[in-house]
Structure 1
Amino acid sequence: MFDSLKELFNPSENPDISKAFEYHNTHLPTLWLLGKTGAGKSSLIQAITGDSDVEIGNGFEPCTKTSQAYSYPKTTPLLRFLDTRGLSEADYDPSEDIEVCSQQSHALLVIVKAEEPEQSDLIDALKKIKKQKSIKQILIVHTAVKQLIANEQSKAVQFNQLQFEKVWGDKIPYLEVDFELANGDTFAIPALKDKLAELLPIIRQLSDQQQHVSTENANFQKLKKEVLWYAGSAGAADAIPAVGLVAVPGIQAKMLHSLANQYAVDWNKQAVAEFIGTLGSGFAFQYASKLGIRQLVKLIPAYGQTIGSASAAVISFSSTYAIGRVACKYMYHKSKGEMVSDKEIQKLYKNALADIKEVAKNETS
């Protein structure tokens, strides 16, 4: 059984792997940003990603006739921002933008500067979007709120909020933020991140503000985006008919080899066998059998192409992330000539599966 698992983690070259990578990169969860120029869209992206260099138009690529897209991180993307540029055009038709967003787990963020009550272009766009009935999640982000004096701040925010709710026909959740105060500080950015993480759980995983309880954990945080990208690609592989059986192990193998390079660990057959051994004697059988069963379930007419594929994608995403997490711990200690107990590795694997469950569901839905 260990020999067969070694083959799963060291497969021959398979073109379906690149197919899975491509599918994942074109189906990223997307935050669709609507707002006038200068409303704070670039600042919002910078606050979420920590990339101070990104600007709307800089690093963005054409997505539709009226929109541009920015994927983050650039080389191993986990999240996409869509900026619609045609709001000021009288004949703006959001249908193509909506189609792009509707194919993915997404949310619509309306970015509005508190001190600007004239929002007719944005209101017209919302009217058209409302008619499409495709947007399930929406959030109004009122920016630059602290640029107003205290007694004007609430009035300005409520005026704009009521304009949008009147168009939407319902209450809309909102936040008040300021990306740049006079002293160089910010206002309510943690609350913004928390709210966006409710809409797209992957955002919480991208946060670099986590408290690291050990050097090993701090080191993993540097590689976490890469592990999540491989996990997303593995989940995507199970969304493609007849691909998951070979592509998922292939993607996991590439991840492990990449991580081994990061830790300067020789990833040979002996290392693979040792690593598998730390996961327990039952891991090999469970891995191989569950992978095969998932592929067979997907062959069931109707059920297999919907619920079966969705379930398989979640499991592949979660297991790939968990394998990546424990591999980082294993390789960290191996690079230092240290031993790590099987019990510790197995506990970390179970915890990683539990921690990533909600992200996996959202990413593969």
Structure 2
Amino acid sequence: MSKTAQDLDPAVVPVLWLLGKTGAGKTSLVKALTGAGAVGSGFAPGTKAATVHDFPAIDPVVRFLDTRGLGEAGYDSSQDQAAAQRMANAALVVLRYDDPVQEPVAEIVRGLKIPVLLVFTGADLVPDDGARERMRAHTRKVIGRDLPFVSLSLPPEGMVTGLEALLDALDSFMPRASAALRRADEARDFLKRRPLVLRYASMAAASDMVPFVGAAAVPAAQGAMLQALAKRHNVALTPARLSLLASALGTGALVRLAAVHMVRQGAKLVPVAGQTLGAAAAAGASFATTYALGRAASAWLYGTARGAAPDAKTLRSLYDQALKGARDAAD
């Protein structure tokens, strides 16, 4: 959701001001963090006026105030700067590693009284550690003080890196915003894992078409899926971690799932109708529960790999949403 700067009320939702020169990567940063927003290209201006991106669009927990890039020909930024300084709760100052001319940005930063995080972009364009450190030292000199910083790569194509460090830094002054942005990042990460989960869910469904075969084959498929997901997330799925996952999902829910599964196996033995309708229902249910387990487990493994596994309420909500979605798709 995009608004004009005049629509802002920082007392309701905290505002993060994205400040930087044209082409620094401000709009690309919003897209990388939220999955929304237009992405600039090179040094061409990507933002034509000060805009606001709410995240999430419904009941937002953070607003990104994206002002026009400094250094555009014919653009007097003084009015936008004054408005932004009145509205913003904190500033993300975006600077490219390969652009040492940062005086216009430094002049504004020197007068800011709000928390400031320097976000250096283009780490992939300047791979030399020494060159990046010289750029940071130069920035400290022109600003006149030492400020916290993170380094990001925001290529138009390829892997974005450094977002985790940015979210860690945001934890210190906008914890709710950081938590919401982490959930968005996890959801994008799951899109890469989804084909794997669908493959195992289909295997579980296929094995559940034959009486009692699914009693062993479905749990085996689910176990193999958990191991495959853990490998993708670089997490060792030890018995202790499996116990934590079961606890977070709710032992009662897992027991009910197992009980329903056994009832479905018995229904497949009913002559004629049971062997057709019962088998189809069992296959559909096994697909849905396996998919839902994969969705919740992927979120748990994503958080575990980063030292912050989602709470039980969030995990069960993901499971329930995925289960409903898979069932609706099967109907």
- TM-score for both structures, normalised by structure 2: 0.45
Q: Which has the higher contact order (CA 8 A, sep 6+)?
A: 1
| Rg (Cα) greater in structure | 2
